A and B are shown apart, each in its own frame.
Chain A
Amino acid sequence: MANLNDKKESLDFVYDFYVKMKRNKINLAYEGEITHQITKAFTSLTETNMVREEDASSVQKKVFHVMVECLQNISKHAEVTPGSPDKKVGRGIFMVSKGDTEYNVTTGNVVLNEKVARLTEMLENINSKDKDGLNKLYKKQMREGHISEKGGAGLGFIDIARKTGEKLIYSFLKIDDLTSFFVLTSTISRIKE
């Protein structure tokens, strides 16, 4: 059983966590299963906040768009924790931070090591293209691609890149011989073009 000191330490952790969230201007952080309901709740919460903050409607739409694609990526593609009762729901972390000039939407989820090379190739291909190239890639994928068993169209990353006009910042951190942790950050400028 946890003694009083352990409990005190966990309270310190809460404060530490709070300070770190404030320092990094994180206004939404979540770890767990990403269901459709969660996706709707987070996007609607963020929408309400952005309206209050009076962000330009073009900025609001972009943030909404990026959030939906990121959340659906996790729910469709994250490896499910062994033993999870619902085999179809992916889990991961999801964070939104808001600085003076930009929003950052960050996701993190477990992927199989065998998928890392293909994902890297896909992300690098997207990052190598300008807006025109991204539009062409999107059209090609829309015409030639199919909706996968998981319900994705293979368009999410391409669309995030072209809507934000920023490179996709990502990294794969090895967990063990089987899996890695995939972190992706998308940046949406708050300054209207």
Chain B
Amino acid sequence: MRVIKIQGSDDTPKVILDADNNTFEISGRSLPEDVVAFYDPILDWLDEYSQNPLDKTVFNFKLEYFNTASSKLLLDVLLKLEDMYDAGHDVLVKWHYPDDDEDMEEAGEEYADIVEVPFEQVSYSID
């Protein structure tokens, strides 16, 4: 399957969707000028991937910041993962947050609350 690899910038996250290397990641900052245009290819890729996913899919979110428009699109990404899980596939979401960032931790809790998918909160320290 094709690979999506997007370099992060000061307003768009780094994205790696690479089934062959078992890497699924969205990280960094997300406040794109056009959120739909940015996330649409990612959602399309997940639709395609979910037809024939790996035995286990571990999806990592490691965001420093995202705006509210992105929060809606991140939920759409998570809902795709939920669909895969509902279809009987093994899916784990890992939500990484800086250990001093309560808001990012709470954002993870909020998503875990909304989507019915195995969800792990992972804190990390910066420095």
| A residues whose Cβ falls under 8 Å from a Cβ of B | 36, 39-40, 44, 57-58, 61-62, 64-65, 68-69, 72, 135, 138-139, 142-143, 145, 147, 151-153, 155-156, 158-159, 163
Contact = CB atoms under 8 A, between A and B. Distances in A.
B51 to A, nearest CB: 25
Contacts of A155: 68-69, 71-72
A58 B68 contact: no
Given A61-B101, A135-B110, A151 B71 contact: no
A65 B65 contact: yes
A142 B71 contact: yes
B105 to A, nearest CB: 12
A180 B99 CA distance: 44
B100 interface: yes
B20 interface: no
B11 A69 contact: no
Contact of A147 (B31, B33, B36, B114): B36
A45 B101 CA distance: 22
Main secondary structure of the interface of B (DSSP, over half): helix
Interface string B82-110: 00000000000000000011110000001
Contacts of B113: 139
B67 A151 contact: no
Contacts of B103: 58, 61-62, 65, 163
B69 A152 contact: yes
A142 B114 contact: yes
Contact of B69 (A39, A40, A153): A153
Contacts of B34: 151
B71 A153 contact: yes
Given A58-B102, A152-B69, 19 more contacts: A36-B11, A39-B31, A58-B101, A61-B103, A62-B103, A65-B65, A65-B67, A68-B31, A68-B67, A69-B68, A135-B110, A145-B72, A147-B73, A151-B35, A151-B69, A153-B72, A155-B69, A155-B72, A158-B68
Interface in B44-81: 65, 67-69, 71-73, 75
A21 B35 CA distance: 35
A143 to B, nearest CB: 6
A164 B69 CA distance: 18
Contacts of A159: 68, 71
Given A44-B10, A147-B36, A151-B35, A156 B110 contact: no
Contacts of A163: 103
Interface string B3-14: 000000011000
29 contacts: A36-B11, A40-B11, A44-B10, A57-B100, A57-B101, A58-B100, A58-B102, A61-B65, A61-B101, A62-B103, A69-B68, A72-B31, A72-B69, A139-B110, A139-B114, A142-B72, A142-B75, A143-B114, A147-B72, A147-B73, A151-B35, A152-B69, A153-B68, A155-B69, A155-B71, A155-B72, A158-B68, A159-B71, A163-B103
